[in-house]
A and B are shown apart, each in its own frame.
Chain A
Amino acid sequence: MSASSAPLLEVEDLSVAFPVSQGLGFRRRLVHAVNEVSLRIEAGQTWGLVGESGSGKSTLGRAILNLEKPRSGRVRFDGRLITGGQAADVAMLRRQTAMIFQDPYSSLNPRQSIGDGIAEVLRVHGKAGGTGLTARVNELLVLVGLSPEQATSRPHALSGGQCQRAAIARALAMEPRLIVADECVAALDVSIQAQIINLLMDLRERMGLALLFIAHDLSVVRRLCDQVAVMYLGRIVESGPARDIFDHPLHPYTAALVAAIPEIDPDMPLPGELLRGEPPSPVSVPEGCTFHPRCIQARPSCRQGPPPALRRRGDRAFACVLHEGDDGIHPVTKGA
């Protein structure tokens, strides 16, 4: 692919806000769930979107698929404007993207067999019909590691892992170019989780689909994704190639997340305190760098003014005043 061609998905300065009522007042306040986020996903790339709960990662995933109305900013899919765009372009987005959720039992219709659920998608999107329909349903079931006999099963008759496979088959039925997977392995047992990760790897290779993998489990993200974006209170604070980010995090928040991954190594002690306190509520975002109250390296200048702008270093970007002025990158070391 030439560098000049439009990326599959381009997000520019996207902001999403929700109104909240506060106490007894009539003042309507806004929660800025996603704040001026920019992201480019090329065809076939796997992006991991990580952050603590309340960081806005799910909202960003939904906004990308036009399931949330942004307050400002633009989303382009395949070069076509989606936010405030033509109905035809939104319809095109719907045909070429799909979403997988955390809990397959609540995202699948409990009264519909999984085969019928897949057939419905195929019919609605005109992907298959008539005699070819059953054959295609069976093909998709086999693709995700289920057997055609399971087409008549309802979701409750399947285990969590089988049900998530059915949800993936349903997402694949429309032959999407981009899948947004929101914590799609978080509810599964570890042995089943590994099976689903392998399935996603297989599908990526065979179908060349792009994946936005939203997760809080960083070790899974590291295994599966080639690019990572780290969100904190609605903003992307660091992004770049997964290996660089995990090996040499530049933002102190990323460093704390990476150090907090529990390692199956009995000789490794619990790491020291890398982060003060807990994620603050997105309703009252701190002044200055939003991360400063928890940052162990915060400086007085971090407490005021606008949040630090994203700074670029090659194919990486980070929003922190550390590493200012030095061309050589001094990463925030693990266990510091």
Chain B
Amino acid sequence: MTLLQVSDLTIEDGAGTMLVDGVSFSLEKGEILGLVGESGSGKTLTCRAMLRLLPGDGLRIRRGEVRLDGADVLGYDEPRMRALRGREIGMIFQNPASHLNPVMSIGSQIAEGRRIHFGASRREARRDAIEWLRQVGIPDPARRVDNYPHEFSGGMRQRAMIAVALACEPRLLIADEPTTALDVTVQMQVLRLLRDLRDRLGLAVIFITHDLGVVAQTCDRVTVMYAGRLCETGGKREVLAAPRHPYTQGLVTCQPSSDGGAGRMITIPGQPPLAKRFPTGCRFHPRCGHATAQCAAVQPEMLPVAGSGRHEAACHHRMEGTRAGRDHVR
């Protein structure tokens, strides 16, 4: 069952530049979707737009639809939107230290959502807070509930922020680079926690990341963005093992595998364009080894890759039959 349907979402800045251009994707209940791209690709902006939390510098949603269970969220008035934020769609961030209130105990921050959205009493909310700390794997939650964020380690703060978000029982969790600042060992624990919560609660998750290794281990489907547009979307197996967009292929090959490989790394030449200077046609064409005159002139549409159901790529060539030159992807 489709939980979230984003269609043709387009965000422009004050100067009329399309920072996010025609982005569409959908999410099923209990599905984890990886939203992948480099900095400035518009992945965070896309997710903030769903909550209508665009930063104030003249950014606005120019067109598009965000439907949660069929209801058009972008048409909500502000009170309805407030009831939705946190309650229906929760969000967690890269840096829990800056998103938890430093002068409020962890327990109170979890309880706050229970009291606002569920009308729980003080006592009930505290009991719920302890239960949620237990759910996210904080040891000795009855004692930890009165701790302040500075008394938690980095990994525990990330768990606490997940507890704050999940205590409102959202149907959709947006996780914006939640493990980027963590050590690999702790990252593994948080990834396992998110998978486990999805399995137990049927939670749908949009996982924003730049790390395809994390996508491979955590997500069901992947959507790749470049310079504000979609490049490729599909099941993680199709996208990672047989990417059809040259940018996705580049991303897959430019990360060293855990066995290291040898010699020079395959890179994507150049760098991502600035919003003011987005190229015409396919925005990736100046960095693409396969670009033709058509790529510079005509913007490619997202089209299905022949022979597979939900695998789509926005490339004129769609790299028929080629596979990434990655030795270990089997």
Contact = CB atoms under 8 A, between A and B. Distances in A.
Contacts of A261: 184, 213, 258
Interface string A236-270: 00000011001000000000111011111111111
A53 B154 contact: yes
A146 B97 CA distance: 36
A279 B183 contact: yes
Contacts of A161: 271
B260 A194 contact: no
Nearest to B328: A265
Interface stretch (B6-14, B59-67, B188-196): B188-196
Given A218-B258, A220-B256, A270-B191, A194 B265 contact: yes
B170 interface: no
B221 to A, nearest CB: 11
A143 B263 CA distance: 19
B241 interface: yes
B252 interface: yes
B260 A198 contact: no
B227 to A, nearest CB: 12
Interface residues of B, number: 51
Contact of A190 (B38, B153, B188): B38
B256 A216 contact: no
Given A191-B267, A275-B185, A263 B241 contact: no
Contacts of B184: 52, 216-218, 257, 260-262
A223 B253 CA distance: 13
Contacts of A243: 260
A53 B187 CA distance: 12
A201 B264 CA distance: 7
A262 B250 contact: no
Interface string A138-167: 000000000000000000000111100000
Interface of B: 38-39, 153-156, 183-188, 191-192, 195, 210-218, 236-237, 240-241, 250-252, 254-262, 264-268, 271-272, 326, 328-330
Interface of A: 52-53, 159-162, 189-195, 197-198, 201, 216-220, 222-223, 242-243, 246, 256-258, 260-271, 274-275, 278-279, 281
22 contacts: A52-B183, A53-B183, A190-B210, A190-B211, A191-B251, A198-B265, A216-B184, A218-B258, A223-B262, A246-B259, A257-B185, A260-B185, A262-B213, A262-B258, A264-B213, A264-B216, A264-B255, A266-B237, A270-B217, A270-B218, A271-B188, A279-B185
